[in-house]
Amino acid sequence: MDADLMMMGLVIFGALVITLGSGIWIGISLFIVGIIGMDLFSFLPGGGNMASSVWATVNKWELVALPLFILMGEVIFRSGISENLFKALVPWLYRLPSGLMLINIVACTLFAAVSGSSAATTATVGRITLSEFHKLGYHPSPSMGSLAGAGTLGFLIPPSLIMIIYAILADVSIGKMFIAGIMPGILLALVYMGYLIGYGIIDPSIAPRGEQRYSLSERMISLKLVVPVFVLIAAVLGSIYAGIASITEAASLGVLASVVLAYVNRKMSWSILYNCLVSSVKTTSMIILIVMGASFLSRTMGILGIPRELTQVIGDLNLSPFMLMIMLAITYIILGCILDGFSIVVMTLPISLPLVIGAGFDPIWFGVFLILMVELSQITPPVGFNLFVIQGLTNESIGTIAKAAFPFFILMLLTTVILTLFPQIALWLPNLMTN
């Protein structure tokens, strides 16, 4: 690598470490580093480039879906739908090995399909299940670990907020990205359930079985409590795949359906709606600030030629496609220990995407791969969001929760390997819809 470019890269990396380590908001840190790089190493005006970069980033109609999906998740969070989901699943799962711990997986899978957020999925399901597990005498480690792992499905199963960001930055179809996440999401959920069932068979003491029994009629009646979840899934994903609505229109339908369901469930008032709106604005502002800052930093690095040079250097190593993916996976795991998922995607995509496309990988497939890597960051200390969510619910130490989540970290890596060896798991549905 050219010595000047190496110096530029080191200065930018050092500035990034200092600003992030100082506690400054991530989005502001990215803007500061971008300005430093632009003003120190180029003759272009930093302020003008920042303004044009921000405008180019936010001037996309697809981004309107982001706050709408966040608002839908907030309404669902306060609507009582998650409580009804727990009640509906108990009669079906309580007699299986690991018992009601399987509810963590099934509930998170279903809630992810109407939430789009990993942290929201973890918090909503965890508020209901963890307290019940404690009352029933379930072992706390697999209870917390299964919730931490299953909560990450909020990123993989559509509608996923981070999928929207990836699709916009990678210039691929949001609809295809949504479809591509379905099969890997189901696969990951099945892997988690298989592990828990096996664990429960080997050590039944982790989930003591109660004496209560449910008749078939009681089980069938309980299913009506799941209807609101499927109504929301149909309103959002059904309208997209049927070609009735665009992503943004589907998000609007999801918000409307969630508000109506919350009203029917008698969990909606003006004060609740106000809190939902305020929380949505805060979350959206945080995400968009990170995206804008990262886009400006990406533009700075592009002007300086750093991504192009790195691509050339890695290309000169003549790595096989799978060695390249292993190297990227290790890099993302390390980044996941210090950065949140949105920052990882927007900061690394300008460098990693040209590499994987050059190696012959499909950008839709790589989006799913990258989101799996981001999911890992949700359960790796010290910045794993899901770990902090569960800590808030249990008051356990981060170390204890991270240890409980480690088996699910390994299971996620295993699923990533399977996805890499068999990319059609992610590409089959998008290709089928295209044909």
Q: Per residue in 69-78, pLDDT tens?
A: 778 878 877 7
Q: Of the candidates 19, 7, 11, 14, which has an alpha carbon nearest to the alpha carbon of residue 293?
A: 19
What is the band of 2 on the pLDDT scale with cuts at 50, 70, 90? low
pLDDT at 365 over 90: yes
Residue 395 has pLDDT above 70, yes or no: yes
Inform me whether the pLDDT recorded for 384 exceeds 80: no
DSSP 224: G
Find out whether 402 and 380 touch, Cβ atoms under 8 Å. Answer: yes
pTM of the predicted model as reported, rounded to 2 decimal places? 0.79
Residue 196 has pLDDT above 90, yes or no: yes
**CA atoms of 292 and 370, how far apart (whole Å):** 20
* Band of pLDDT at residue 211, cut at 50, 70 and 90: low
Contacts 24+ apart (CB under 8 A), 386-391: 386/118, 386/119, 386/122, 386/147, 386/148, 386/151, 386/152, 387/148, 389/119, 389/122, 389/123, 389/126, 389/151, 390/122, 390/126, 390/130, 390/144, 390/147, 390/148
Q: What percent of the chain has pLDDT over 70?
A: 94
Measured between alpha carbons, how far is 93 from 113 in angstroms, rounded to an integer?
20
Report the pLDDT averaged over residues 299-308.
76
- SS3 (DSSP) at 181: coil
Pair 39, 46: CB distance under 8 Å: yes
Which of the 8 DSSP states describes residue 210? Answer: P
Q: State whether residue 289 is helix, strand or coil.
A: helix
Cα→Cα distances 329→41, 48, 255, 386, Å = 31, 35, 35, 20
Give the pLDDT score at 413.
94
User: How far apart, in whole angstroms, are the C-alpha atoms of residue 309 and residue 4?
Assistant: 11
The end-to-end CA distance of the chain, in Å, is: 44
Looking at the predicted structure, is the pLDDT value of residue 186 above 90? yes
pLDDT tens track for 5-16? 778 778 877 887
- Containing H/E element for 245? none
Q: Give the range with max mean pLDDT: 165-174, 266-275, 419-428.
A: 419-428
Q: Which two tokens stand for residue 284?
A: 């959206």
Is 135 in contact with 142 (CB distance < 8 Å)? no
Integer angstrom CA distances of residue 52 from 45, 57, 63, 293, 420: 11, 9, 17, 12, 37
Residue pair 346/165 in contact by the 8 Å Cβ criterion: yes
pLDDT at residue 189, rounded to an integer:
94
pLDDT surpassing 60 at residue 325:
yes
Residue 1 pLDDT greater than 60, yes or no = no
Alpha helices in 174-305 (DSSP H): 174-180, 182-202, 216-222, 227-233, 239-241, 247-264, 270-304
3-state secondary structure of 96: coil
C-alpha distances out from residue 263 to 76, 128, 269, 294, Å: 11, 21, 8, 39
Question: Taking the CA of residue 158 as centre, how many other CA atoms within 13 Å lie in the half-sphere pointing to its CB?
Answer: 31
**What's the whole-number mean pLDDT along residues 253-268?**
85
